[in-house]
């Protein structure tokens, strides 16, 4: 999938922010926090802060450790929460780390790594 954008919506006076993912035919909105929304939106827009934000710092650390992010997989949805896994390569070995989808997306964008979503999650979004 790709990031279509970061958006805000008002519901009963509360502002919620979400990232919208798409595979071209299907869309998946994922609610995210304000910090993650800002981080994703800045990368999406090509904006560069004066000082590195947290996701930029993590990218630099992983670069220096020669452990690039290979892919992100949003693979589960349970009790209104999405789950993601990040896959890194280090010394020929694959390393899997559990993470929030918002952080995983922010890092994937910085590494230009592909983002995958389980078909069952995308199909369930169509049914809602």
Q: Are 5 and 21 in contact (CB under 8 A)?
A: no
| pLDDT for the residue numbered 123 | 87
Per DSSP, the residues of 27-69 read: EEEEEE-HHHHHHHHHHHHT---SS--HHHHHHHHHHHTT--E
**What is the reported pTM?**
0.93
| pLDDT for the residue numbered 11 | 86
pLDDT digits (tens, 9 = 90+) for 43-90: 999 999 999 999 999 999 999 999 999 999 999 999 989 999 999 999
| pLDDT for the residue numbered 126 | 62
């Amino acid at each position: 999938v790709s990031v279509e954008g970061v958006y805000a919506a008002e519901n009963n006076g509360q502002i919620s922010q979400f990232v919208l993912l798409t595979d071209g035919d299907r869309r998946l909105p994922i609610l995210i926090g304000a910090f993650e929304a800002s981080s994703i939106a800045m990368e999406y827009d090509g904006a560069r802060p004066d000082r590195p934000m947290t996701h930029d710092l993590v990218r630099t650390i992983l670069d220096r450790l020669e452990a690039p992010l290979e892919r992100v997989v949003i693979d589960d949805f349970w009790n209104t929460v999405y789950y993601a896994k990040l896959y890194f390569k280090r010394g020929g070995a694959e390393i899997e780390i559990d993470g929030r989808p918002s952080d995983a997306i922010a890092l994937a964008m910085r590494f230009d790594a592909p983002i995958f979503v389980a078909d069952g999650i995308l199909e369930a979004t169509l049914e809602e």
